[in-house]
Amino acid sequence: MCEKAQELIDAGEYEAATLALEDLWNGIGKRPYTNYLSPVEKAGVLLIAGSLTGWLGSIKQIENSQEKAKDLICEAAAIFETERIFDKWAEARSDLAVCYWREGSFDEARIILQDALEKVSPQYYLLRGQMILRQVNVEISTHQYQFTRLLLEKAAAIIQPHGTDLLRGKLYFHQALVLRKLAEEENKPEYFDKAVENYEKASSYYEKAGHNLFRANVENNLGFLLCNLGKYKESQLHLDRALDFYLHTSDKSHAASTLDNKALAFLGEGKFDDAEKSARLSVQLVHEGDEKSKLAESLITLGKILARRNNFQEAKKCFEEAADCAQAIGDYEDASVALLTLIEELREQLSTAETRDFCLRAEEVLPKTSRSTTLERLKNISSEFLQPEQNSFIRGKAEKWEGFSLPAEVKKFEAKFVFEALQDANGKVTKAAEFLGISHQTLSLLLKQRHSNLISVKKPRKPRTKRLQAR
């Protein structure tokens, strides 16, 4: 049953995969029936049920679905680790990272994927290729486009000779997405043509793999690319194909993304009524689920449309909510974009004091983003509204940041709080994790990978036999 369900997951048939497990599992929010299964069989059922909970929870925007998925997947991973089946343990950890990524917890996703990759044997080509592509997803979400190119080279070296049609489709899709982002960032229109070529290759491989959902994703992304090129009518054709599929399959998550893209295309055409309807529906759909990483983009689009329609107060509220939402999950790029778009769209309605405050807040998140177009926008606005002593651009960035290392400063700041939490928890990792507002496993990974000098503060773990006896 698990093998059949996995085949259906690989084809994007998540509802059918749930039906394949109906003798053991009644769906999201229910615990699988595993009483008479061996430990390995139990772990397999838990992993599939957790994976499906994550997928369907995302598609249908079911609240708290990612937390429920994580619980099942973590239990499966623990069993696989006990049974020393490390390839399945790594697969479970990879699925766990996807849940964190969907929630916008990018640091946790990054740490989990890297830790799992280090423990996967080289001969597990498909698993390694899939995990590297999931790393690409995380880095795209944090706008680290140059780094994603290095990851894609690693993925290609594995997937091109050893991959399935599905993995090859994913490889070309991610290559297209990164090329599109770099075309926008570096003002290289030739990258758009290369992106289209890769999207077409991706669609061809997805068709061979029978994965209609991912083919719809290609249509959505092609529509967005054409919108950026000003080809609005052609863009709407691709977006309508994608939206028809998402609505037919009740995929709220991807429908929200497509509606956001349609709103931008309608805005480009000057169709403000249609643009506002699409944007509001996009925000509504994202609000219903756990995927906060998508919310900021939808709110920025809606804010822009409302500003053009002279609905200034609601537009301002949308931009501020977008900035707060993005900053809360560590997406400083979108946080700064939200603030800059607010100033650009509403500068005539803002007081000088308000504009200055938004400029200063944008400068606060600026060091956490490296996107040149965002830097240039902020530079232009700051030079107009900030006094020389307030403006880091006028003072000179070289002087301000000489010898500065953001990763080193963040690591020191992080170490201080980890140390204090462990001390206050008498060395108990679980309690310290509660103090810090993170999970036990995230704190354990931080201690192992970034703060090994603090392990001595941690209370020694009981041997497994004693822990089992204590239960």
Sign of CA dihedral 238, 240, 243, 249: negative
Final residue before a domain boundary, out of 85, 120, 155 = 120
Does the pLDDT at position 354 exceed 60? Answer: yes
pLDDT score at 469: 44
Contact yes or no for 358/382 (Cβ under 8 A):
no
Examine residue 176 and state whether it is found in any structural domain, yes or no.
Answer: no
Residue 50 lies in a domain: yes
Work out the angle at residue 285's Cα, subtended by the Cα atoms of residues 283 and 288, and round it to the nearest 5 degrees: 105
Classify residue 340: in a domain, yes or no. Answer: no
**Residue type present at position 433:** A
Residue 277 lies in a domain: no
Split into its structural domains, the chain has a count of 2
H or E stretch at 190:
helix 190-209
Is residue 306 in a domain? no
Q: Is residue 199 included in any domain, yes or no?
A: no
462 in a domain, yes or no?
yes
pLDDT of residue 432: 85
Q: Indicate yes or no: pTM above 0.85.
A: no
Q: CATH number for the domain including 11?
A: 1.25.40.10
Which of 120, 140, 169 is the endpoint of a domain?
120
Query: Is pLDDT above 90 for 217?
Result: yes
Q: For residue 221, tell me if it sits in a domain.
A: no
For residues 370 and 359, what is the distance between their CA atoms, to the nearest angstrom? Answer: 17
Average pLDDT, the chain: 87
Range of the domain at 418: 412-470
Last residue of a domain, one of 101, 120, 139: 120
Give the residue from 368, 168, 466 showing the smallest Cα distance to 152: 168
pLDDT the model gives residue 463: 47
- Confidence (pLDDT) at 110: 93
Residue range 72-117, pLDDT digits in tens:
999 999 999 999 999 999 999 999 999 999 998 899 999 999 999 9
Q: How far is the C-alpha of 236 from the C-alpha of 250, rounded, in Å?
A: 20
